Every structure is written in C-alpha cells, then in structure tokens.
A and B are shown apart, each in its own frame.
Chain A
C-alpha cells in the first residue's frame, strides 16, 4: 500500500480521470475546496450544521468565531481527521478540485498528502531530528529515494522560513528548537508532502508575539504555494493575513466573504457584534 502512495503523479492522473464537471458545478471547479452541506457530530451532539463554503485557490481563508463554535471541527472535516475521533460522524461532501474526499474509492493517504495540517501546539516528533521530522511523512510512507528526500527537506525548510536557522544542525532533535521554530518545523513537515491545501488550527496561539508575526509573514508568502485555511480567534490576525473570512457561530456558518468586507462592512448583525467585540 505504501509503495502505491509513492507515485503521486500517477495517482493524480487517476484522480483527475474521475473528475466530474457537471454544468452546474462549473462554478465550483474554480474553487480549490467546495464544502457541500456538511454536518458534523460528536456522538449525539451536532457541532456543525449544514456548512456550505467554497475556498478559492491560492488564497488565505480565516475561520473566526467564539470558542466552541466549530472552527476546529470544520477544519478537521476538510482532511478527514474528524472521523478519527471516537463517536464522531460527518455527512455531506467536501470536494477537492471537484473530487469528493469522502468518496469510498479514494485512497485516504492521497487526501492527506494533498491536504496538510498544522496544529494548535507545535508537535514535532520528540525522538526525531530536525531532518527526520521534515522527512517523516515521506519516509514512513515508503519513499526511499535519499536524494529526493534531501532535496525536499531543504525545499520544505526554506518554504517554512526555517532553513537559515537550522541548516547547520539538521541532526539536532526537533524538540530542541524554540516554540516558534518548532511550529515552523511542523509547517515544513506538512509542506514536505507537497500539499495543495494547508489547514492551520490556531497555529500561533501557543507562541509569543514575535514568533507569531513570523508565522503570519510566512503564511502570506506560502499563499503562492498552497491554499491556506487558518482558524484563529485573534481577529487582528484574521484581518492581517487572510483574503477571505468565514464567521461561525454555534456550529453554523453565519457569514463568508472577502476579509475587507467582513471587517468593514459585515452584512449580518451577529458578525458585526462579534467583530466589534460585543461578545466572544
């Protein structure tokens, strides 16, 4: 199985063959991700209520909303992580370039390769070196080509703006880095899989302001490489880094639009009250 996953190019072709471009879905084909009527549960508790959202390619989209409104849950529905939680359930479709990631025929490993994730707290693998952390996804999925791995490690660390700081100590344990560096290491680890979409769940909430601003800068630069969705409860951050903003409340998507519009001229009263700090 691992060897199969080694040939992303072949797989991509296979996946592309199964694309369906229906007339009424042309609009959707311009989106990198299309979330269609997604409902999510933890046991009997519904955490997501009929979410519909289209994510534009090479953009940064921010999910904002008060704590517990379902931002993390929605994010985890986008790379099939939600179903890993015991008792968790999901209905609806998530289309990646028109392909439903919940389709039974799809290799879930390919989905994980195409949609990367960065977590709230930096979580480098504690027993692995910096180098091995970045290479972990490739090596453990069966990639053997050392030169390829070496090239990708360097490219990913550069992509995560960490290369200059660590290039002379790639053999040091990943956990020996500072918090901000660890988070960038985790971004490099995700980038190594050559994802098309990068999901980030409050990636700076465990970091100091300086480290946070580095990550924000990085996010802006990464836009050219991947489509980014970032969960944040920091509204200034959403305003700074994102092109589009989705405001969620109690498991529902209340308003979604260009970040400028959401912050300057929200259509919904609820959004306006949240943006202006009246609750949250």
Chain B
C-alpha cells in the first residue's frame, strides 16, 4: 500500500479525501478477496491439468508397456501369420494406413485449403458462402459411420469392390471440413493492413493471397492439416465399410487394403493371447505414426515454405 503514502502528499487527493477513503476501502476489501481467488484459480488449473494428463499419460504408458514387447523387424514388415500362431506381423496394416493417409490428404488438403481461402478472401460473405459454411459445419458433426455408409454406397457398390479409393474418399470427407474451417479462421486473423500493403505495391489478389496472407498464416493452416490427419489416422468405422481390411499387402487402388485401426480391432477381437499382444503393438505403432507425422510434417513443410516464399 505504498500508493497510499504518495496519495497523501497530493493536495488534489486531499480535497477528495472522502472519495479516496471510500474507494480505498473497496480496493482493500476486493484485494483480500483477489488473493484468495488467485490461489483458488491456480489450484483449480493445476488439478485440471492433472485430471487431463493422468488418463492420457496412463493410456500412453499402458500402450508402451504392452505394445513394446510385440515390436520386432518381423512384426513391422511381415504379413499376419496363421490365426493364433503368434507369427507374422502387421506390415500390410502399416503400409495401408500410410497409403490411406497419403491419398486422403492429397484429396482433402487442396480442396479444403482452396475452400477456406475462398471463404476468407474471395466470398465477401455472400449467400453462397453462408451455405458453404453451413454445409461444412454439418459435415464436421457427421458421425464417421455415416460417412462410411456414404463411401460404401457411392464407391464400393458402384465400383463393385472394397477399395483404397473408397476409403480415402470417406476419410477425405472427414478431413475437408476441418481443413476448411481452420484455413478460413487462420486467414481471417491475418491483419488487413498486410493485404493493403500488397495492393499498394500493385500486387494481384492471387499473389497477395498466396505470398502474403497464406504465407503469414501457414503455421495455423498446417496445424489444421495435422489435426485433420490425426483425426483420420485412428478412424475405424468408415474403413470397415470401405476398405474392408485384408492380410495381404497393397495391390491396387481399386482393391481392398489393410489399415492399423482395422487390424487393431481384428486382433483385439481374437481370443488369443498372442493376438492381443500384437494388437497393443499395432496401437503403439499407430500412435508413433501420428506423432511422427505431426512433428515431421511441421518441420518439413515449414522449411520448404520458407524457401518458396517468393
């Protein structure tokens, strides 16, 4: 309460002493309460962090504990062995997951980013963009099994077989709305003064959008892409209806393929101890892949974007 001492020397404050006394009383009262509130909030946040981290951490520990035993070169590269034999590996599932993630991203990143760019930079909030935004939000909330059924009806039935294409198509429908939303929101955060600086230099809208706005917002957009990938990497329901799963390696985009979530689900539903151990192993690999993609993509793309800036 050093403030109060200096206030006494100020003649103007003496004039209004009756006011300052009253205000100071309120401040003092409030200040005591504030110290208590601060402590309470701090404790609450710590508790929340612990509550959030404990289940996450224990899942991770459990997966690592149970999964690491299963992991070997054979496990990572071989086809599954005979049922219950404890032989072979999850090679096709790892391969399939990577192919599916790659193909889904190849489909959804351009579509999602361009839509997001349209909504943020070009649409001027017309009626069409309102509709697009609404449809996009509905898509975000769609249960993934429904998306799986859509993939089954539109691609599996028409093409006549379960296929990589159908799987990637369904997962793209999950990815696109996430990427659209994140792209739009991050681009909108870019200050308008940067666009104006671009216009004042005579730059075209395309140049401004790509080289200034998108380049400024790239880390946000990238986060959205990583988020979308993590979201689909573990999706099982749509894959059951579209790629079916197989114990063979990838043969063609129009044929079935295996994927880690499907393999984990299969292994977990078998009655053998060895299958369960493999299931934990596969889960660990899935987590590692998602983690690696998240971190790796960030580093890789950030470097490349910096180079092609101009």
Residues of A in contact with B (beta carbons under 8 Å apart): 1-2, 5, 79, 81, 84, 86, 108-113, 116-117, 119, 121, 123, 125-128, 132, 135-137, 139-141, 186, 189-190, 193
Contact = CB atoms under 8 A, between A and B. Distances in A.
A79 B200 CA distance: 8
Nearest to A114: B202
A227 B224 CA distance: 46
B310 interface: yes
Contacts of B124: 86
Interface of B is mostly: helix
B309 A81 contact: no
15 contacts: A1-B204, A2-B204, A84-B196, A109-B202, A116-B200, A119-B193, A125-B197, A125-B212, A126-B194, A127-B218, A127-B306, A137-B202, A140-B198, A141-B203, A189-B197
A128 B200 contact: no
A195 B196 CA distance: 17
B195 to A, nearest CB: 9
B136 interface: no
B35 to A, nearest CB: 36
Nearest to B205: A84
A127 B309 contact: yes
Contacts of B271: none
Contacts of B200: 79, 81, 112, 116-117, 119, 190
Contacts of A81: 196, 199-200
Interface residues of B, number: 22
Given A125-B212, A132-B310, A140-B310, A112 B197 contact: no
A121 B194 CA distance: 10
Contacts of A140: 198, 201, 203, 207, 211, 310
- Pick the 6 closest A-B CB pairs, nearest first: A112-B202, A137-B201, A117-B200, A109-B202, A123-B193, A127-B215
A119 B196 contact: yes
A128 B201 contact: no
A123 B194 contact: yes
Nearest to A122: B193
A125 B199 contact: no
B140 interface: no
